[in-house]
Amino acid sequence: MVNQPVPRSVFIAVHPFVHQAAVEARDVVQMLQDGGLHVVSGTFDDEAMRARVRAREFDMVVVMGGDGTMLRAGHLCAPLDIPVLGINMGHFGFLYELQRADWMNSLPLLLQGDYWLERRMMMRAAFCRGASTLGQWEVLNDVVVCRGQYVRPVQLRAFVNGGLFASYVADGLIASTATGSTAYALAAGGPILPPDLRNILMVPVAPHLSVDRAVVLAEGAAVTIEVVSANQAVLSVDGQPPIVLDNGDRVEVTSSAHSLPLVRFQDPGYFYRNLTSHMEQNPLFGASK
């Protein structure tokens, strides 16, 4: 493993509603400052802090939160090619490199440049109505077009590289990265893809008399999902609040020119090694008790 540059300036992004994250962040800040780094802590809710990240004031972001906080880091940091190190303070933490008990032993490696960068593919999603583009996003996990508040299936057409691929009557259709293959796509019955793949995965949700198999598209393929349903359909990007779609609206998904560099201390075989522990013990089961 070739040593990486030691960061000089680091932003610690803390989940604003997890008390333990704020408490442990103080210790992380202290350790990195003792190592000679310039360190600032805050939250992604602070627009001034996001502006400082966009201005490239920091050459690394350390995330202390759950999966949602990491997704926000990906949206912000991938277009800037800023490496992200995750310290899991939530439940699953598929994207996180470190757990709460690990960071004290691993951060000294960061100060020695003893880490590697794993580049995760991002997707580019566009919401189109007629000739107008009403929204665009960088996506780390998935793009979902699905039924709205009423329990009625929606009718969707999926096009691949401009040609009709399939028509669906279903609760929804997921377009996912390899990273997102362990999220909603997995719950909908899709395959688990290795994180270094740059393919788009399409997974129908509860299809009725429609194509019921997930499909892994060739690298570089482009997907368009068109709503052809009178029933309400909505769009959700990486779990963000839904956007109501009209009949005829389109969602266009391609691989992004950007990727998210994640800081890794484990060897590249970590994904398969950790997968079993994630799959065999769901930390959300009974969490509400």
Catalytic residue among 67, 142, 171, 249: 67
Q: Is there a catalytic annotation at residue 67?
A: yes
Strand-pairing partners, residue 176, are 142, 201
The tokens describing 13, both together, are 């992004």
The catalytic residue positions are 67
